[in-house]
Structure 1
């Protein structure tokens, strides 16, 4: 390759742009000055400056989850790189394609007592499938290509550390796009799926558990459920795949799901899992035969006693299974039992969502959100009681939901909402957060102000770490540290350039939320929330 006049940092940005990267989230530090200088000189990739590196990594993870593309974050060496870890843990746990680029000590100081130096490859080892230190400018394109291919191909975190001096060295090589990948359909036939259909035909009490990986197969799953006589339960990621009116849709499973469905699920004799690797602890049907459909075979090892794994996409597999089950004699008693559970939960849920009083019952808050947010809004959930109450009471339509699935970190909601608004500025974006989770990232209210991100943050303010309080009570343990010392969130939001609204009664929830959702500015809604013991806490 002919030499170019670009620095390593400039070449990296040109290469990332070819990968489709449009934003890099980060905090400026001296070990990345070469990269910051290159970012300032171009306009293909926007640098989003945040207040804390964990926010940068959360935003990169949220972008990857929402788009399926490559999320990129950056930080300086030492403490900056360490602060990325929480967000990278989220991306790692939820299989989001994220690339972290960190500055490193000058190349002649690596391995010495240089301030802030640490072996970053060791630091990133728990989360990064591929981590490399760029030791020579000539390797720039090769290591970036490998990082991007690995992240996007395997849906994992990758990491590059770049010594401070190397960022600014002249670079050789030319950017090149990733190779196009033609993803052919898996070759399935009725005959190749005979083992699966043979198991399904033994069912007297069939159940389907669906997740986000079955997003393109919801119609096929409903056809199968009707023919097979199965109830359908969904993980949080699968929420909204099926219309609430669907005869076989029993809503969610696990904490925040349909509480009556757990006993039903435990007596199922055959279970089909489609597009989910999540299995709530304690729900495993004793002696049930389990079939799991997923394109990623490594997901079959997550403590699910799978009898048969089918590597493929649900939408490719299900038509053959449904065809093979034509004429199957389903159990009408089981169908009736599923319907009874569906109706029982619908009545309970409606009553719960109509709770009155102030401070407001969390179910009432979520039901108000359900009534006011746009059908195609993006919801960003923090981790805590707000997550389980949303799962329990929000009747999802076509909304997209971002959440920290396996890592379950507090502080995810606000960064995820900001990333979503940057990516989809035309969409209504709502963060549903607890007071504890929000306080972990409060400084980044100013990030939304800086980039004019008109998001709505709804704070369930019960002045406590309620989920932890509930779990301590359930375990019959004494508590300390679960009470929160909260600021006046309205004054704080206004000081950061936001609009602030407060619901002062349960009857005005909808009107306050409507006002907030139509503000032409980032808006925080503070709702005094009752300290309700979550019913399914164990």
Structure 2
């Protein structure tokens, strides 16, 4: 058994089923070892960046860690962006990279790169193997850190060591995985209960750290008559039909979610490092509970911080807090949230047949027809707006994306990773055309592996979210820079061996979604949508209003000076708003 085979055996013992990557020189001994067994499948992709996104998806969804691999310098560099996404989402991923033979290190050898230095910021630990004797120790350490810290770790395997005889075989053992509860002190819990009991209007801002404590948080909300506002990552924890949920806050939030956070007497921040400080109150008393103490007070000043896991801490507080009788604050915000949902349902009605089409009709249609345990890979940009505002991630549905890193092109490879991990669940990708063009080379990977992923490409021939950013900054959109030159994505799907349909009329939307749902092949809905749909935050401050106002004045001025695209944009925005 050589070192590559030893590494593979360790991964097998830890339940790894797939390794995503591109084969090549230093990695070839590992790929050869994979070919000699059938427990771990090598998923060859067309670009290493897609491999790391697919590994992220598995680390995020499967309760284990994802694995991606690349050869020396250039291939290893391609992994970086997807690994940064895993780091920011706190998804455990092991990246295996090759390295040139040790004798050539430091000589500026062909394809040599200082991967230790390059990966220092993305990895919490790097297992840099310099001898067969140390290999099992550092490999196991990398896995142990990745799964217990929910982070990215790298294993560096030089080409010469990869083929050497394995040593310290008797040292190999199962990786320790902690299931310990973390609980604040009794004194801190008593102090928190006192603050809660003295407050009249309590609001909850719940993040993805509440995933294992959903029922406890809902019980706590019932006890305190506290509306639950959630972050984007927690949209599948506290869905639109959950008791006391009043929606999302932040740039793509809704009015009731925003008001619940800003107008309470006491804000409880549970398992979230919510980054948008403009959407957090400045003077409200705040209790922040987090398993990571470095998050407490990171975004806003806190009255009291509690270091603990959400489930254990809330269970303790449930026994210390007094039930509140006044539910006026909660009741009013629930009613406001219900009105917002009704309004959104009307906006997403297929009877609104303006062409190009309203994008949220597609999002609402998928939400209505997808299975109760569907997985949704949501790309960055306007796709995230339509998904978060017009979809309901109820039951056992899950969402994954680049919600903290904010990178484009996560949707397709994340859908591939999810479908491989869960072959019996529906996997949908909601992707903008700009993001899809960045990653579409691996649609053929989905075909090769017979993965029935369903992809909706919001085809508006424009970088839609960048347009919003330009307008917010007071700039007239530069349509030459924003333009995305598309081809027929449905025909591309068929060319690759999948299936697809191009949708340009509202009457065809539902049938297209039904066809995608039933398809046993990778399927693309090429959704031709308007680029003029407005998306406004729940609270528009002076600077935002000023920016949009200046932008519109500039657009009108340039339209009157003969810029046809500016005039067409203004007309489409008016039509989209009033249709």
TM > 0.5: yes
Q: In the aligned structure 1, how far is the partner of 2:433 from the partner of 2:359?
A: 13
Q: In the aligned structure 2, how far is the partner of 1:59 from the partner of 1:274?
A: 29
Secondary structure at the counterpart of residue 115 of structure 1: coil
**1:368-447 mapped onto 2 (5 Å cutoff):** 368-398=365-395, 399-447=397-445
Give 1:359's match in structure 2, choosing from 356, 361, 370: 356
Q: Is the alpha carbon distance of 1:189 and 1:75 closer, same or farther for their aligned partners in structure 2, counting shifts above 3 Å?
A: closer
* Other-structure match for 2:528: 528
What's the offset of the Cα at 1:180?
Answer: 4.1
Q: Is the 8 A contact 1:70 1:97 kept in 2?
A: yes
What's the offset of the Cα at 1:113?
Answer: 1.9
What's the offset of the Cα at 1:152?
Answer: 0.9
Q: In the aligned structure 2, how far is the partner of 1:55 from the partner of 1:185?
A: 35
* Other-structure match for 1:3: none
* Other-structure match for 1:231: 227
Q: In the aligned structure 2, how far is the partner of 1:227 from the partner of 1:132?
A: 48
What's the offset of the Cα at 1:422?
Answer: 0.5
Q: Deviations over 1:24-59 (max 9, x none)?
A: 110011121211221222222111100001011111
What's the offset of the Cα at 1:190?
Answer: 6.7
Report how many aligned residue pairs link the two structures: 532
* Other-structure match for 1:34: 29
* Other-structure match for 1:454: 452
What's the offset of the Cα at 1:483?
Answer: 0.8
**1:1-40 mapped onto 2 (5 Å cutoff):** 6-40=1-35
Q: In the aligned structure 2, how far is the partner of 1:283 from the partner of 1:65?
A: 27
Q: In the aligned structure 1, how far is the partner of 2:195 from the partner of 2:117?
A: 46
Q: Is the 8 A contact 1:371 1:510 kept in 2?
A: no
Give 2:306's match in structure 1, choosing from 310, 314, 319: 310
Q: Is the 8 A contact 1:19 1:177 kept in 2?
A: no
Q: In the aligned structure 2, how far is the partner of 1:430 from the partner of 1:318?
A: 34
Q: In the aligned structure 2, how far is the partner of 1:258 from the partner of 1:511?
A: 30
Q: Is the alpha carbon distance of 1:185 and 1:86 closer, same or farther for their aligned partners in structure 2, counting shifts above 3 Å?
A: closer
What's the offset of the Cα at 1:264?
Answer: 4.2
Runs of 5+ unmatched residues, structure 2: 545-579
What's the offset of the Cα at 1:12?
Answer: 0.8
Determine whether 1:136 maps to 2:131: yes
Q: Is the 8 A contact 1:421 1:427 kept in 2?
A: yes
Q: In the aligned structure 1, how far is the partner of 2:156 from the partner of 2:459?
A: 40
Runs of 5+ unmatched residues, structure 1: 1-5
Q: In the aligned structure 1, how far is the partner of 2:162 from the partner of 2:185?
A: 53
Q: Deviations over 1:401-455 (max 9, x none)?
A: 1111211111100001011111000101111111111110111011001111111
Give 1:183's match in structure 2, choosing from 154, 176, 179: 179
Q: Is the 8 A contact 1:227 1:328 kept in 2?
A: yes
**1:288-299 mapped onto 2 (5 Å cutoff):** 288-299=284-295
Secondary structure at the counterpart of residue 61 of structure 2: helix
Q: Which one is further off, 175-184 or 418-427?
A: 175-184
With normalisation by structure 1, the TM-score equals: 0.94
What's the offset of the Cα at 1:106?
Answer: 1.0
* Other-structure match for 1:148: 143
With normalisation by structure 2, the TM-score equals: 0.88
* Other-structure match for 2:571: none
Q: Which one is further off, 193-202 or 311-320?
A: 311-320
Q: Is the alpha carbon distance of 1:186 and 1:108 closer, same or farther for their aligned partners in structure 2, counting shifts above 3 Å?
A: closer
Q: Is the 8 A contact 2:224 2:323 kept in 1?
A: no
Q: Is the 8 A contact 2:129 2:156 kept in 1?
A: yes
Pairwise CA RMSD = 1.9
Secondary structure at the counterpart of residue 380 of structure 2: coil
Q: Is the alpha carbon distance of 1:247 and 1:8 closer, same or farther for their aligned partners in structure 2, counting shifts above 3 Å?
A: closer
What's the offset of the Cα at 1:477?
Answer: 1.6
Q: In the aligned structure 2, how far is the partner of 1:184 from the partner of 1:79?
A: 40
Give 2:268's match in structure 1, choosing from 272, 295, 298: 272
Q: Which one is further off, 335-344 or 490-499?
A: 335-344
Q: Which one is further off, 103-112 or 30-39?
A: 30-39
Q: In the aligned structure 1, how far is the partner of 2:199 from the partner of 2:156?
A: 53
Q: Is the 8 A contact 2:262 2:281 kept in 1?
A: yes
Q: In the aligned structure 1, how far is the partner of 2:26 from the partner of 2:242?
A: 55
* Other-structure match for 2:554: none
* Other-structure match for 2:552: none
* Other-structure match for 1:203: 199
Secondary structure at the counterpart of residue 203 of structure 2: strand
Q: Is the 8 A contact 1:253 1:280 kept in 2?
A: no
Q: Which one is further off, 464-473 or 297-306?
A: 297-306
* Other-structure match for 2:337: 342
* Other-structure match for 2:461: 463
Q: Is the alpha carbon distance of 1:189 and 1:149 closer, same or farther for their aligned partners in structure 2, counting shifts above 3 Å?
A: closer
Secondary structure at the counterpart of residue 405 of structure 1: coil
What's the offset of the Cα at 1:458?
Answer: 0.8
Q: In the aligned structure 2, how far is the partner of 1:38 from the partner of 1:219?
A: 45
